[in-house]
């Protein structure tokens, strides 16, 4: 690695690399969450309650993990979980 130019420190370069890696990882998690929510919505639209319920438990886990590390807001996770479970409950009724 060449010597950094004036004003550029190795720690800043490392922080920049870490920031890019974290952003990629966070985007992957957000993508998984949103695609799983869409799968649940599709199952509800098709009136497939068992499939929707199976996907719901996986979605709850992902939303809770994302909220735990502050990737999404805790209340946003709770609100989305409530809306999805309400849709499935209405499906059974």
CATH code, domain with 26? 1.20.58.110
Distances (CA, A) of 62 to 10, 19, 37, 45: 35, 22, 10, 22
Asked if the model's pLDDT at residue 4 lies above 70, the reply is no
In a domain, 57, yes or no: yes
State which residues form the domain around 30. Answer: 10-92
- Degrees to nearest 5, angle at CA 58 with 53 and 60: 90
In a domain, 2, yes or no: no
In a domain, 1, yes or no: no
Question: The whole model's pTM is what?
Answer: 0.77
In a domain, 5, yes or no: no
In a domain, 3, yes or no: no
In a domain, 75, yes or no: yes
What one-character DSSP code corresponds to residue 6?
T
In a domain, 69, yes or no: yes
pLDDT digits (tens, 9 = 90+) for 33-55: 999 999 999 999 999 999 999 99
Number of domains in the chain: 1
Supply the mean pLDDT for the chain: 91
| 40 contacts: CB under 8 Å, gap ≥ 6 | 52, 55, 56, 59, 84, 87, 88
In a domain, 52, yes or no: yes
């Amino acid at each position: 690695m060449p010597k950094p130019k004036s004003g550029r420190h190795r720690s800043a370069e490392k922080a920049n690399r870490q920031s890019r890696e974290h952003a990629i990882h966070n985007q992957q998690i957000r993508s998984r969450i949103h695609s799983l929510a869409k799968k649940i919505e599709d199952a509800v639209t098709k009136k497939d309650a068992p499939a929707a319920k199976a996907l719901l438990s996986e979605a709850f886990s992902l939303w809770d993990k994302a909220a735990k590390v502050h990737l999404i807001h805790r209340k946003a996770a709770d609100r989305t979980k409530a809306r999805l479970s309400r849709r499935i409950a209405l499906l059974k009724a």
